[in-house]
Structure 1
Amino acid sequence: METYIVIQNIEAEPEWPKLFGIALSVCDSFQIMYPDREWDAENPLLTGKPEFENLEGIRTFPWDGMKDSMVYRGPLNAESRELFWQHMVPREDDYIYPLWNFDFYREGKLVFSIQDFSVCLAYSYPEMMEIFAVQGIDLLSLEG
């Protein structure tokens, strides 16, 4: 059974930029979920949808987690990493809505997930715990 550390509010976590940067750098693919409707700037669930739709190598599938919704899957490369960084570690002078729901994978294994904009699930595989520990982050101390 897979276990994970839950960080209830990433916006209140001082280590968030460092933690997210590490996850971005070591993961190799992602999936992000969106309602299957036209983009609307007023709907925070659709934040970033046009940009992710236009990334090279994106594949789409129906998502069974919500009626009338889609999964966009693709590689984590320089362009997609920059999109995630802009939305999830915004500058104070340029607030952008965070992304609603996405997952990061490393070699096909789910290792990092964001749900409901601000809840992080960091899967506690030994290799991931070691990667974070080497960078000075004790995931267990961030839980809650």
Structure 2
Amino acid sequence: MSRSSFLASGTPQIQQSILDFYLQKADRFRAYFPGGEELSGSRPDFLALEGVSVQPWSGMMGCIVVEGTLTPAAKALIRERGNFDEDGCYHSLQLWSYELVNETEVLLRIEDFSVWIVFATLDELQSLEKQKLPVSEWQEISLESEEGVTPLPMDASDLKQTAQAIKEVFFPKHE
């Protein structure tokens, strides 16, 4: 069954429901940790999980990817560190970027703490909708480049501006 990709927005409770749903379907995880301490507070805890592998990640200089089986300990750690607090605040142990994977398919990807990308089948969307999740509000996206289109290179400043714009759209400040 083919998967479509969606930008999923919502409250921490909705995100927790999405996370719990895909933790039941996934059998592996990938957690990405950049160099430096600011975004990598959970790195030692993930490295301590049994049976993980560690490799450099080509997506960012100095970044590693920790991959492993979704054991009960890994699931508990992802539940604890994979979502932001109820008040929307970030903390130093929060996961910066991670994926839940089933065999070779990515089911859920969280990037830059708050960009939730769901890769769902029609059956999964229907199941999520039955759980009262606002699936119809999610924006369907394509992660494939269009034929003949060459992506422009982005530097750290471009990425920071893009991440900020996404946060402003999906998590507006209420004044």
- Flag whether TM exceeds 0.5 (same fold): yes
| 2:12–2:84 Cα contact (<8 Å) kept | no
- The structural deviation recorded for 1:84 is 0.7
CA separation of 1:121 and 1:90: change in aligned 2, threshold 3 A: closer
The answer for the alignment partner of 1:31 in structure 2 is 30
- The structural deviation recorded for 1:69 is 1.2
Unaligned runs of 5+ in 2: 140-169, 171-175
| 2:25–2:102 Cα contact (<8 Å) kept | yes
Amino acid across the alignment from 2:30 = Q
The answer for the alignment partner of 1:88 in structure 2 is 82
TM-score normalised by length of structure 2: 0.66
| 1:87–1:96 Cα contact (<8 Å) kept | no
User: What is the alpha-carbon distance in structure 2 between the residues aligned to residue 74 and residue 62 of structure 1?
Assistant: 15
- The structural deviation recorded for 1:120 is 0.3
Q: Let me know the Cα RMSD of the aligned residues.
A: 2.6
Map 1:1-144 onto structure 2 (within 5 A).
3-8=4-9, 12-36=11-35, 40=37, 43=38, 45-89=39-83, 96-97=91-92, 98-143=94-139
Amino acid across the alignment from 2:128 = F
Matched length: 136
Q: Which moved more, 1:84-93 or 1:64-73?
A: 84-93
Structure possessing the higher relative contact order (Cα contacts under 8 Å, 6 or more residues apart)? 1
- The structural deviation recorded for 1:96 is 4.2
- The structural deviation recorded for 1:83 is 0.4
- The structural deviation recorded for 1:85 is 0.7
SS in 2 for 1:46: coil
Amino acid across the alignment from 2:6 = I
TM-score normalised by length of structure 1: 0.79
Seq. identity, %: 22
CA separation of 1:83 and 1:136: change in aligned 2, threshold 3 A: same
| 2:6–2:117 Cα contact (<8 Å) kept | yes
| 2:3–2:119 Cα contact (<8 Å) kept | yes
| 2:12–2:85 Cα contact (<8 Å) kept | no
CA separation of 1:78 and 1:67: change in aligned 2, threshold 3 A: same
1:58-112, CA deviations, whole angstroms, 9 ceiling, x for partnerless residues?
A: 001110110111111001111001001111346659x744210111111321110
Amino acid across the alignment from 2:4 = T
- The structure that has the greater radius of gyration is 2
| 1:52–1:72 Cα contact (<8 Å) kept | yes
